[in-house]
Structure 1
Amino acid sequence: MKRNFLLILLIVLCQSTFALPPDRNTDAYPLHRCEKALTDVIIHDIFSPPVASRIYAYANIAAHEALAAATDQRESLYGKLKSLPQVPNPGKEVLPSLAAVCAFMLTGEKLVFSEPLLHDSLQNILAYYKSMKISDEEFNSSMAYGETVASVILNWAGTDKYKETRKIRRYNYLKEEGKWIPTPPGYMAAVEPYWNQIRTMVLDSCNQFMPEKPLPFSKDTASAFYKQAYEVYVAGKNLTKHQYDIASFWDCNPFFLNVEGHLNYATKKISPGGHWISIAGLVARNTGADLMKTSKAYTYTSIALFDAFISCWDEKFRSNVIRPETYINAYIDESWRPLLQTPPFPEYTSGHSVASTVASIVLTGLFGKDVSFDDDTEVEFGLPVRHFTSFEEACKEAAISRLYGGIHYRVAIENGRKEGLLLGEYVAGRLLR
């Protein structure tokens, strides 16, 4: 049914015109367009950071494997990712980029709620291919092969225990001193408390790179725990404009709850993983990366993010550390509020610190250490462009933003970076070897 819909849509578009975009790398344009379309739907559907990373990973792997099978089997991730099946050869002549785009879109559609929204972007993409004057036979075989690859990847995705974690009884937070409890204004339930049960892709297990233990909880004003909370408190009350801008830029809260009297409504924004996917794309465009390298940038980054969130969430719900907002309100100043809205899951380690570090290592392996870029990811959310001289500089800024934002202690940031360095080197070593 879906394939018939796509073919009918193509016929409707046959008489339309398509203006070639001013991309430096036109053969990768459709993939960039697919990525943006998927990000827009992820934001619209308000997927949490861990779930968003899963959607990005499977959609990009589908595109990558279709492209590899149609061009160079040596580029395949078969044998590098846990239990990834080998996709069949095309059999017929296909246009690699069209097959990859089809695999990406059909995989993504099955992993989001708002499936019809992706069809809007599909129209322009199909028009682009029609403008290339490819034969109907090549178009049809490319679409059919993309559908085959998507089916293989979706079947593999269906065995990662995601569905099983949807059926587990709702998480009950621990009513113990020093443990995480829901925070204002929404007092939302814990996000993905069983995410460590999801199958990793490159890591041997969710706890392969278990971080150092967090500081022991204490209310004593002379304790290390109290001092780390007091640092967050003081920083929040004395933010410079530079620190404020950094915290705001890297907020990446998919669901910011606005409270005005009795009216509650959400402001939707990009997730931490989505921000790094955006960086991968903009650097690929800026450097004129070809289609395969562009696919690698998106795919390797999404795989790294996927395993990073599993590793981080495993520690979060093991240590179950109280958030700064809760601690400061109870033991330092009950009127204090963080700049950023505290997310609904335990504090240790910092997810943005782990994920950003892992993504930066993979991207550095692909593009080099001294790649500068103007990050315009947040422009559509009302924030200005920020310039970075390297991926490492960006990831360090993303990590410290959590202290300025008042949602993480320094120890969670520093140990999150250490966790991310070990994880990133391991993932990059497996993918880039």
Structure 2
Amino acid sequence: MKKILNTGSLLVCVIIVFLACKKNDPFPRPAPEHHSDVATEWMKMQMRLTMSTPGFNSIVAGRSFGYSGLTLYEAVVPGLPQAKSLAEQLNGGNALKLLLPNADKHSYYAPASVNAAMAAIIRSLFGNTSPANLKSVDSLEESFKAGFAAKAGNKNLAESAWFGKKLASAIFEWSKTDGGHEAYLHVTSPSYIPPTGPGKWIPTPPAFGAPIHPGWGSNRSFIPGVPGIAAAPAPMEYSEQTNSAYYQQALELYNLSQKLTKEDTTIVRFWADLPVNYNVPAHATGILNQLIILKKFNLNEAALAYVQHGFALSDAVLTVFKGKYTYNTKRPVSYIRSVLNHPQWNTVIPTPPHPEYPAAHALVSAASAAVMENLFGKYLNFTDHTYDNLYGARTFKSFDEYAKEAGHSRVLGGIHYPSSVKLGLELGKKVGDAVVDLNYNNNSNHHKSFD
């Protein structure tokens, strides 16, 4: 998609290439073309921290990628004449605008700003991480700082780092007001009492734990109006009658569970939130990382990719949890054990402790896919190498195929009904499209462009 070109023809050719390959034209900027490694390495660091920091489940992790993506993007804006801060377009963003440092298109050295900003925002977001993890954050920051010495003057580097730190501080301060601050410390709510009645969620095996993050759907979204744009309609009517659609979908799920292949179980585990795996937002970010490196995105391009993807992940999680706790529907394992009378039946992987409808994997993956489709093109053939050593690589013909497999993995695992996954995919695309529709450019005639 992206080619190395002679300097004289760079701008024209890049514009032609991207217009030819993608639905939109978000990236054509000829200079400065800083390498994206400072962005990709910090995102890899954040992915690793989600695996080893208590409380960073998919819900909390999704939020963290939204704020780190915003921090990364805002750190490169001062060096891009046509780029604009996103603050005024965000939900509650006027308060953020008042907090942000005034850059005035200053000639900061963007990699130094990004390095300082990402180190600072990750330390703040992962406030309960281990000393060993913090030492890794410090080491990565110092490693990049050492490499910048030959590329910019000391004064410029110091000013650039100052801007990055002030920026991260402002964004973290704003994040405290969204309803999810330090959610890793209170995953469950002692004051929440789940509604009871036919078809309502009940604790599931093996842990029979309390429902997690029941109030998450009331948090502030990044994109205004997203919970309404992608609101889940009422689910299928609950019934225990053998001729009902509800009973039949449970029976079909049970029958499917009796004939799973080795490939089916591999797919289930590949996309699962298991201790040896990344959670859903971290895995999706890993796919984006691989593609940014493969397509040789520069730092500016990577920044736009990460902010869009981070917003999509965070708002998708918020949207799906609003739906889950609006309807509080029973999980398949509860229905199959009691109504279908298979009391020993188990899912392939543990059922997460929150209501069934709509399907979170499907909704989050579809939002991720919608953003990546806009970035890389609709029919990009790509391979996900996240778990080469655990499960092997998986190749997809499109981003839609990736999202559908991630969603279907939950059906194969016995976690969700197909109808819930189908709706999740539809709603996730709406979230991703809403993110892409923000104006990333001062030129209102190119509202989806970074140029």
How many Å apart are 1:200 and its aligned residue?
0.8
How many Å apart are 1:106 and its aligned residue?
0.7
How far apart in 1 are the matches of 2:142 and 2:125? 21
Counterpart of 1:358 in structure 2 is: 367
Give 3-state SS (helix, strand or coil) of 2:395's partner: strand
Counterpart of 1:175 in structure 2 is: 196
2:317, 2:360 within 8 Å by CA — same for their partners in 1? yes
How far apart in 2 are the matches of 1:186 and 1:420? 29
Give 3-state SS (helix, strand or coil) of 2:193's partner: coil
Counterpart of 1:189 in structure 2 is: 210
1:60, 1:104 within 8 Å by CA — same for their partners in 2? no
User: What amino acid maps onto 2:243 in structure 1?
Assistant: A
Structure 1 segment 179-258 matched on structure 2, within 5 A? 179-204=200-225, 206-251=227-272, 253=273, 256=274
Aligned residue among 7, 30, 43 for 2:38 = 30
Structure 1 segment 76-95 matched on structure 2, within 5 A? 76-84=85-93, 85-86=96-97, 87-90=100-103, 93-95=107-109
Taking structure 1 as the reference length, what is the TM-score of the superposition?
A: 0.86
Further displaced range: 367-376 or 275-284: 367-376
2:250, 2:417 within 8 Å by CA — same for their partners in 1? yes
Counterpart of 2:419 in structure 1 is: 411
- Deviating runs (4+, > 4 A) in structure 1? 163-169
1:353, 1:399 within 8 Å by CA — same for their partners in 2? yes
How far apart in 1 are the matches of 2:344 and 2:59? 31
User: What amino acid maps onto 2:42 in structure 1?
Assistant: C
User: What amino acid maps onto 2:352 in structure 1?
Assistant: P
How far apart in 2 are the matches of 1:364 and 1:122? 34
2:229, 2:430 within 8 Å by CA — same for their partners in 1? no
Aligned residue among 91, 107, 115 for 2:121 = 107
Taking structure 2 as the reference length, what is the TM-score of the superposition?
A: 0.82
- For residues 281 and 164 of structure 1, do their structure 2 counterparts lie closer, same or farther at Cα, with a shift above 3 Å needed? closer
How far apart in 2 are the matches of 1:73 and 1:149? 19
User: What amino acid maps onto 1:222 in structure 2?
Assistant: N
Give 3-state SS (helix, strand or coil) of 1:369's partner: coil
1:373, 1:389 within 8 Å by CA — same for their partners in 2? yes
How far apart in 1 are the matches of 2:259 and 2:227? 38
How far apart in 1 are the matches of 2:413 and 2:224? 30
How far apart in 1 are the matches of 2:433 and 2:235? 23
- For residues 170 and 376 of structure 1, do their structure 2 counterparts lie closer, same or farther at Cα, with a shift above 3 Å needed? farther
**Unmatched tracts of structure 1, length 5 or more:** 1-24, 257-266
1:321, 1:346 within 8 Å by CA — same for their partners in 2? yes
Structure 1 segment 374-393 matched on structure 2, within 5 A? 374-379=383-388, 382-393=390-401
Give 3-state SS (helix, strand or coil) of 1:430's partner: coil
Structure 1 segment 246-395 matched on structure 2, within 5 A? 246-251=267-272, 253=273, 256=274, 267-332=275-340, 333-379=342-388, 382-395=390-403
Name the Cα RMSD after superposition: 2.1
Q: Deviations over 1:252-295 (max 9, x none)?
A: x1xx4xxxxxxxxxx35311111111111111111111111111
Give 3-state SS (helix, strand or coil) of 1:387's partner: strand
How far apart in 2 are the matches of 1:50 and 1:351? 10
How far apart in 1 are the matches of 2:333 and 2:197? 17
How many Å apart are 1:94 and its aligned residue?
2.5
1:203, 1:307 within 8 Å by CA — same for their partners in 2? no
How far apart in 2 are the matches of 1:141 and 1:214? 54
User: What amino acid maps onto 2:202 in structure 1?
Assistant: I
2:385, 2:393 within 8 Å by CA — same for their partners in 1? yes
How far apart in 1 are the matches of 2:310 and 2:182? 22
Counterpart of 1:142 in structure 2 is: 160
Counterpart of 2:172 in structure 1 is: 154
How far apart in 2 are the matches of 1:56 and 1:301? 8
How far apart in 1 are the matches of 2:334 and 2:317? 23
Further displaced range: 129-138 or 99-108: 129-138
The answer on 1:120 being equivalent to 2:136 is: yes
How many Å apart are 1:100 and its aligned residue?
1.3
2:34, 2:300 within 8 Å by CA — same for their partners in 1? no
How many Å apart are 1:48 and its aligned residue?
1.9
Counterpart of 2:30 in structure 1 is: none
User: What amino acid maps onto 1:101 in structure 2?
Assistant: N
Counterpart of 2:47 in structure 1 is: 39
Counterpart of 1:96 in structure 2 is: 110
How far apart in 1 are the matches of 2:157 and 2:83? 25
How many Å apart are 1:349 and its aligned residue?
0.3
How many Å apart are 1:26 and its aligned residue?
7.4
Q: Deviations over 1:297-325 (max 9, x none)?
A: 22111101111111110110111110001
**Unmatched tracts of structure 2, length 5 or more:** 1-32, 440-447
How far apart in 1 are the matches of 2:224 and 2:417? 27
Relative contact order: is structure 1 or structure 2 higher (C-alpha 8 Å, sep ≥ 6)? 2
Further displaced range: 208-217 or 160-169: 160-169
1:323, 1:346 within 8 Å by CA — same for their partners in 2? yes
Aligned residue among 130, 137, 140 for 2:146 = 130
- For residues 164 and 94 of structure 1, do their structure 2 counterparts lie closer, same or farther at Cα, with a shift above 3 Å needed? closer
How far apart in 1 are the matches of 2:111 and 2:130? 22
The answer on 1:398 being equivalent to 2:414 is: no
Alignment coverage as a number of residue pairs? 395
- For residues 401 and 203 of structure 1, do their structure 2 counterparts lie closer, same or farther at Cα, with a shift above 3 Å needed? farther
How many Å apart are 1:168 and its aligned residue?
6.1
Counterpart of 1:58 in structure 2 is: 67
Structure 1 segment 421-432 matched on structure 2, within 5 A? 421-430=429-438, 432=448
How far apart in 2 are the matches of 1:106 and 1:362? 26
